[in-house]
Amino acid sequence: MKKKMTKAEKAVESVNQTIPGMAAPVTAVTVTKASQSVNSTAKPAPAAEASKPGEAAAPAEKLDSSIVTVPEAKIGRVIGPKGANLKIIQDKTGIARIDTNGEQFTVSGKPAEVAAAVVALTELVEKGYMSLAFDNFNEIGCMAHPSTFPDIIGSKGAVIIKLKEELKVEINIPPVPKAAGDAGPKKYKIGIAGSKEAAEKAQKCIEDIIMYGHSEITHPGLVHEEIEVPTWAYAFIIGKGGSELKHIQKNWTVKVNIPRAHSANENVVVVGEPKDVARAKEYIEKQVFNAENQVSGRDKASQSEDFWGEDTQESWMDQYMYKRK
């Protein structure tokens, strides 16, 4: 099954396993309400003021208790570093206490406090974050094709970790059904949660990565240039087995994005340091110009020369490589 997984599927599986706080597939959460009000486990309610002669004593405020069952694999996430998440829940909800016993988390306090704490614990289990941890909380999304997931995640999760750390947001990359693959047209929603301002910034960063291959927050100092290239000329930029493309990227330390079937940007995009991008762009434009003026017709691509040795050609390149019969 591992061998049959697409590049996007492997990236999503990897990031969900290695990035702390990354939302995981939804897990059922069991919440059980205690059969009786809390007594010894809850902080004692303030004693009612002594009633004056002839007056009825004020009734003591009712306390409740609920048990949330947390899967063993997610206990660490729910508790947080040194109990940070449980402390946030207690501080934000005013809950009297949260007791843990294996997979059972018992929350005790006033009814409204218990209800709010149960919601927070459930969110931590199902999403990996809780809304009450953010001021002015906002939860939005960004539609993306699975072929863009590796760029959004980055090598070993570097890009998505940068977004999470810099903007203090939570990002959920959805699992990709095997039927979708890189060739399917369907887009999937990437979940973004945090303060309203931070969530909107993260959304803009992800949209920039989808369109241009970088954003200022995740790739500081990098720029991009778009180049209009006829589809038939892609073969001259790619080269035999992708060798020309690798030469350009290695020689000028840039990344060259060639449009694919579901690319958001229809132009060739060069990303890197300003001076490197300028030189790589000049080279690409020269290659295309030479190709246009040397031969004519669809056979131009088959006559492109390869000066950079043999290399493995990726499957997505096939559609641009014409073969003479």
Residue type, 247: H
Q: Are residues 236 and 311 in the same domain?
A: yes
The whole-angstrom separation of Cα 123 and Cα 271 is: 38
Average pLDDT for residues 14-31, to the nearest whole number?
54
- Strand-pairing partners, residue 191, are 141, 172
**Parent domain of 208:** 7-21+136-220
- pLDDT of 178 above 70: no
What pLDDT digit, counting tens, does each position of 68-118 carry?
999 999 999 999 999 999 999 999 999 878 999 999 999 999 999 999 999
Closest to 309 in 3D by CA, of 216, 244, 256: 244
Q: Are residues 141 and 195 in the same domain?
A: yes
46-60, 141-155, 208-222: least confidently modelled range? 46-60
Q: Are residues 28 and 119 in the same domain?
A: yes
| CATH, residue 103 | 3.30.1370.10
Average pLDDT for residues 13-41, to the nearest whole number?
52
Residue 50 lies in a domain: no
1-15, 32-46, 196-210, 249-263: least confidently modelled range? 32-46
This model's pTM is above 0.85: no
Last residue of a domain, one of 186, 220, 254: 220
> CA geometry: angle at 64 spanning 62 and 70, to 5°?
170
Q: What are the C-alpha distances in Å from 208 to residues 10, 251, 255, 264, 300?
A: 23, 25, 15, 10, 33
Last residue of a domain, one of 163, 198, 220: 220
Tokens of 194: 């945090």
Query: What's the domain count of the chain?
Result: 3
Last residue of a domain, one of 93, 128, 163: 128
Residues 149 and 173 sit within 8 Å (Cβ to Cβ) = yes
Q: Are residues 116 and 158 in the same domain?
A: no
- Strand-pairing partners, residue 106, are 67, 99
Q: Are residues 271 and 310 in the same domain?
A: yes
What is the share, in percent, of the chain residues with pLDDT greater than 90?
62
Residue 45 lies in a domain: no
Residues 114 and 105 sit within 8 Å (Cβ to Cβ) = no
83: left (phi over 0), alpha (psi -120 to 50) or beta: left
Q: Are residues 215 and 231 in the same domain?
A: no
pLDDT at position 115 is: 94
Neighbours of 4 (CB within 10 A): 8
Q: Are residues 228 and 295 in the same domain?
A: yes
The whole-angstrom separation of Cα 11 and Cα 262 is: 18
Residue 44 lies in a domain: no
